[in-house]
């Protein structure tokens, strides 16, 4: 394996981890809003719950920015694969 492919595979793993993180944030927000805000009305502090949900939302946004950066780097690396150069030369565009 060459170093470009190794780096690409490393980024694929990082992307998977980041995606799992965003899904975890989505699930956590759903559970907090559904269980604590909706089902247990009056039994929780809405201000605190809102702050927690905002923090989770910020974390999800950070993860999504990281996903973008990883995907960008993956695209740049994919352009360096030997087969990518040949395909680019043969492309009718």
**Angle, vertex CA 47, rays to CA 42 and CA 49, nearest 5:** 80
Find out whether 46 and 37 touch, Cβ atoms under 8 Å: yes
Determine the pLDDT at residue 44. Answer: 82
pTM for this predicted structure: 0.79
Q: Phi/psi zone of residue 34: left (φ > 0), alpha (ψ -120 to 50 degrees), beta?
A: alpha
Determine the pLDDT at residue 43. Answer: 81
Determine the pLDDT at residue 70. Answer: 98
Render each residue's pLDDT in the chain as its tens digit; 93 residues: 568 889 999 999 999 999 999 999 999 999 999 988 888 877 888 899 999 999 999 999 999 999 999 999 999 999 988 775 555 555 555
What whole-number distance in Å separates Cα of residue 23 and Cα of residue 8? Answer: 23
Structure tokens at 9: 């595979």
Domain edges within the chain: 3-87
First to last CA, the chain: 30
Q: What does the DSSP 8-state code read for residue 93?
A: -
């Amino acid at each position: 394996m060459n170093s470009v492919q190794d780096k690409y595979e490393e980024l694929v793993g990082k992307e998977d981890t980041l995606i799992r993180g965003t899904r975890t944030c989505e699930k956590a927000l759903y559970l907090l809003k559904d269980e604590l805000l909706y089902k247990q009305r009056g039994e929780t502090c809405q201000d605190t719950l809102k702050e927690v949900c905002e923090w989770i939302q910020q974390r999800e946004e950070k993860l999504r920015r990281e996903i973008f950066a990883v995907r960008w780097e993956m695209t740049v690396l994919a352009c360096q694969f030997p087969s990518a150069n040949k395909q680019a030369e043969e492309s009718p565009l």
